[in-house]
Structure 1
Amino acid sequence: MVRLPLTPEKRAAGKRLGERLRHARGGRILADVAQEAGMTLRKIETGRLATPAFTTIAALARVLPVSLDELAALCLPDTDLRQTG
């Protein structure tokens, strides 16, 4: 399967998601949160993995003080947010 290059909007959404996850993690160690969620987290927090799977987002919402709805909204490109809001 060939992965298409990310659009600027998807890269921006990935950065927003990463920033929110870092904030939600607070003082907790990255590796501890990743282990609790059952995944690696560094690429998501740095925006290098801009389009994580739904199950990844759901696992993070389970272990961090942030709702699944909020994380899902952050994953959408800015243009999608403006169309629905």
Structure 2
Amino acid sequence: MVRLPLTPEEVERGQRLGALLRRARGERSMLDTALAAGISPETLRKIETGRVATPAFPTIAAIADVLGLSLDAVWAEISGAERAVGPAGPTHRSPERLAS
């Protein structure tokens, strides 16, 4: 199976996801967090550093659960700087939203 290269937007979203997970993990060890989520510490490290920009949904759901994050909050955080598509078509979010 050939995997298409990631778009710049996907790479940026992966970096935002990694930063969110690192902040949410706080002082908790990567090993404890990974084991509680049922993934390897190496997988968590790759996600947190943005090397895995598009992790599987069950992986993110498990990590979010361990860290006490809602999936809605995760999605809002990582998609905040992307284009929003409304009934009238694509629009850009306001600069105020990007700064939050």
TM-score, length basis structure 1: 0.86
- Which residue, out of 47, 54, 65, partners 1:44? 47
Over aligned residues, Cα RMSD in angstroms? 1.9
Once residues 46 and 52 of structure 1 are traced to their aligned partners in structure 2, the CA distance between those partners, rounded to angstroms, is 12
TM-score where L is the length of structure 2: 0.74
Flag the structure with higher helix content. 1
CA-to-aligned-CA distance 1:5-58 (integer Å, 9 cap, x gap): 111110000000000000000000011100100113010000000001110111
- Aligned residue type for 1:65: G
Whose radius of gyration is greater, 1 or 2?
2
> Which structure 1 residue ranges, 4+ long, deviate > 2 Å from structure 2?
72-80, 82-85
Pairs aligned (count):
84
Identical pairs, percent:
57
Q: 1 or 2 for the larger relative contact order (CA 8 Å, sep ≥6)? A: 1
- Structure-1 residue corresponding to 2:96: none
